Structure 1
């Protein structure tokens, strides 16, 4: 039998090699082979669908839901109230999620007194005089509370009333002269600029906008929308109750003699009538309603308004179109010429969004807000009066207007009122100076000012989508995933592969070429 020291030496030799390599396993595989899921043969055709057919199925379901609600409204002679997203009867649950909490109050002398009394009652400290360091106490009383970033994001909504579209608007119309990015006005207490930028990005495409709101009955107050989520089109139906900024006249209190209701009518006219009265997003036209209703439906599809508080332009476009977006850091563009050809978008296969996320910038960048999303509406290459080509892009800020400090639109070359705008160019681009958030800039300035470009590829009925969901049991084991996906492309064409980590969705789309 080997000596004890020899046994120890042999043990350590098993861990030492003359040519060390990479560690690929910690435990021997025999310890966990029985824990690993076995590969399952998947039916390659079980979820294969034409993109157009998938949408039509969801749209048909949405239309059927709206039709059932309308029949019930007429039977009961009552407008519809959405029981699952009742902003009038259960507004707080529609505003904030279960994980959100209100800001903690700042410490004050009364909270300190309560805390000390609790300690005394539980005999943690004595009942006699207690010596406190004044400097330390001052720090406690003036210290800002610390919040968890996941739960506290300055979201403290405070709408003051809720009313129906027919009550708010004098002559409500779902759409006035069609959809336009110029319709979009961001709410006063809203941080869904990313989603509003996504809406503005596709507003000039009537074919895309008409696919979102598929059914409505304005008399009954019911609107049916279809959004794309987790690889599938999802119908969402909402009523027409909307949040307002100002309270009802009766909630103001006080004794006011108003036998003819003239004071109340004047108050309502000034504070609770038209698009400007809405708490969240609104249309520029005083009687246009499509945007606040779509925003409400999108919030419902995600759980509440807090759930759409902050996001990415590309994700918003995906949800509205069923497309797939990719993010490009503009500083990393390899070929600016190739990108320009994509921005011209002659075949209409893409839509684009922009944002500025410059950590080194302390404030606005030539009038444009940092940490903010924008819509890229158009790219144009035109010859100037001297015959030289000029590359310009048309961009929009979802605010829909300049801020109180005048910021919100580009103030560099080709900004509104700049020297570049000769009569020749005003006619060439059919452009007017307005405080509407829309501005032009050169392609070069776009690359230098914005930090990120969101490019969303659209899919029509020429495309086929196949998706497969899988559950992954993650453990502290190497080789834990035996699931594999095999894709067989039988015809030449474009293929797009997508992995969604959060939803655990493996998605691929293919389109066969016609040639």
Structure 2
């Protein structure tokens, strides 16, 4: 210390760095001490398992009963106050923006077209911002340069969630004769909203809605007079309830806002005409709707699903299999159709004789094409049925029935398969129309061969369903130091005491989750 007092400040700094400089040549192979893991990692400790084991059916019934109890309690309050139910946690009228986009949304970047760019450059040139430099640029050149794409969007295909519903009203205000379901649930009911991109979820709904027992497990309780609807979903290893009111977003504004308040309408006759034309029935909705003009189950189910996830923006994009998992408690696996090894084995699964699976499809073609034989790219579809039948010549044909959640062809005619076995194709003889009980309609439903399905679609989503004979055991674990090798010392031990089918699922949402399904 005494010597240091006599050294100049720069010499002290030099002494400090001298300790980190080696005179021998070599390579640095590690920057942490050899004992780092021993000091940072907790010591392994024997722990009693905290895994919870529940019968799959009993766990569902507990959630369903909770949903029914909550709905009944709300009905009593509505009767007591003579007021319809308004959901304080998902109030479209009082807090519509949060229900649409929540707290993480930001408006899409403002876009400019070639004409706007030309005008802007002309203004700069007129003010001699570029001096005497001449800019020989016209609109045709700009369109060539920009290829007709927004200047702020390099690929031109990015689609942002920018919702703009114009009004909110209750079901009995929108529909003339509202009914939760008309002739049951059906994939033909489903129409995708013109202003939404949850085709993945609608495809998931279409894959299960022909199974009455599955839909009844989702749509648990309701009181249409009070405007209360209770649903049950499966999320993060547990059944949860979602209760909503019957307010829905509409695509058109109310009459006063539409005409600006300048129209003299003392008898309200113009208002009634406007409401009848633009704010009545399924076509008036902003998001998904049922094809039947007075059927309400789909928009209310979509609203409850959006609430579970926080807002409508949260379900703007996703995967078919995840949607089926959320509504059934099943376990989804994804298969790249190009990688199928045993096509006959997959076909037997698609026949689904024991009804253990539901299936979805999508097209994610990386070639940049917008459509493949009439089918939209970057889009999800439902696989409704697989049939192997004999033709009039005795030859066996493998066919699959598929549905586009749009529910109809687009304005450009795109949306349904236009290859072999498409509507109106030469393959459809009177024999086959009768055999498959099929007729041509603009409803998004089409048939194609199994071979064409494998060559056209990119991915298949197989969701394994479970009944009351199964039990679910789940264990959650937290990871706090994800960058450190060897950080996770928690182990999972599975003891199989009798022969049977066991399904293991590893999921990551906010935490790592381990799920095991055991029969019995």
- Same fold, TM-score > 0.5, yes or no: yes
Alignment gaps of 5+ in structure 1? 1-6, 17-22, 113-129
Residue 37 of structure 1 contacts residue 481 of structure 1 at CA under 8 Å; is this kept in 2? no
**2:74 matched residue in structure 1:** 69
Q: Give the corresponding residue for 1:184.
A: 190
Over the aligned positions, Cα root-mean-square deviation in angstroms equals 2.6
Aligned twin of 1:193: 199
Q: What is the match of residue 379 of structure 1?
A: 386
Shift of the alpha carbon at 1:385? 0.5
Q: Is the CA contact 2:197–2:317 (under 8 Å) kept in the aligned structure 1?
A: yes
State the partner residue of 1:218: 224
1:279 corresponds, among 282, 286, 292, to: 286
Which residue does the alignment assign to 2:15? none
Shift of 1:41: 4.3
Matched residue, 2:167: 161
Distance apart, 1:262 and its partner CA: 1.1
SS at match of 1:300: helix
Q: Secondary structure at the match of 1:392?
A: strand
Deviation at 1:45, TM superposition (A): 6.9
Would the alpha carbon gap of residues 38 and 269 (structure 1) be closer, same or farther in structure 2, given more than 3 Å must change? farther
SS at match of 1:32: helix
Residues 65-93 of structure 1 show CA distances to partners (whole Å, capped at 9, x for unaligned) of: 11111110001000010011000111111
Aligned match of 1:446: 453
Alignment of 1:388-399 (within 5 A): 388-399=395-406
Which residue of structure 1 aligns with residue 518 of structure 2? 510
Alpha carbons of structure 1 residues 78 and 234: separation in structure 2 relative to 1, 3 Å: same
Greater Cα offset, 164-173 or 457-466: 457-466
Native 8 Å contact 1:350 1:456 kept in 2: yes
- Aligned residue runs from structure 1 range 83-482, under 5 A: 83-105=88-110, 132-133=129-130, 144-145=151-152, 153-252=159-258, 253-482=260-489
The alpha-carbon distance between structure 1 residues 265 and 38, as it changes in their structure 2 partners (threshold 3 A), is: farther
User: 1:173, 1:387 → 2: CA distance?
Assistant: 46
Aligned equivalent of 1:122: none
State the secondary structure of the residue aligned to 2:455.
helix
Q: Could you list the per-position Cα deviations for residues 348-392 of structure 1 after superposition, in whole angstroms to 9, with x for gaps in the alignment?
A: 111000000011141211100000000000000011101111100
SS in 1 for 2:214: helix
Cα deviation, residue 276, structure 1: 0.4
Contact map agreement 2:51 2:475 (CA 8 A) in 1: no
Is the contact between residue 51 and residue 474 of structure 2 (CA under 8 Å) also seen in structure 1? Answer: no
Distance 1:201 1:489, change over 3 A: same
Q: Supply the distance in 1 between the matched residues of 2:191 and 2:414 (Cα, whole angstroms).
A: 15
Q: By how many angstroms is 1:36 displaced?
A: 1.6
**Shift of the alpha carbon at 1:226?**
0.5
| Matches of 2:233 and 2:150, distance apart in 1 | 44
Measure, in 2, the Cα distance between the counterparts of 1:316 and 1:422: 37
Seen in structure 2, the aligned counterparts of structure 1 residues 106 and 208 have a Cα distance that, compared at 3 Å, is closer
> 2:472 touches 2:518 (CA, 8 Å); kept in 1?
yes
Inter-partner Cα distance in structure 2 for 1:195 and 1:143: 29
* Contact map agreement 1:38 1:483 (CA 8 A) in 2: no
Query: How far does residue 206 in structure 1 lie from its aligned partner after superposition?
Result: 0.6
Q: CA deviation at 1:143?
A: 8.5
Q: 1:486 aligns with which of 469, 485, 493?
A: 493
State the SS of the aligned residue for 1:294: helix
What is the deviation of 1:146?
Answer: 6.6
TM-fit CA distance, 1:132: 4.3
Give the Cα–Cα distance (whole angstroms) in 2 for the partners of residues 355 and 270 of structure 1.
35
CA shift at 1:484, angstroms?
A: 0.7
Match of 2:36 in 1: 31
SS in 2 for 1:456: strand
Go from structure 1 to structure 2 and tell me whether the alpha carbon gap of 1:306 and 1:476 turns closer, same or farther (over 3 Å shift): closer
In the superposition, the TM-score normalised over structure 1's length comes to: 0.87
Query: Do 1:195 and 1:311's aligned partners in 2 also have CA atoms closer than 8 Å?
Result: yes
Classify the secondary structure of the residue corresponding to 2:384. Answer: strand
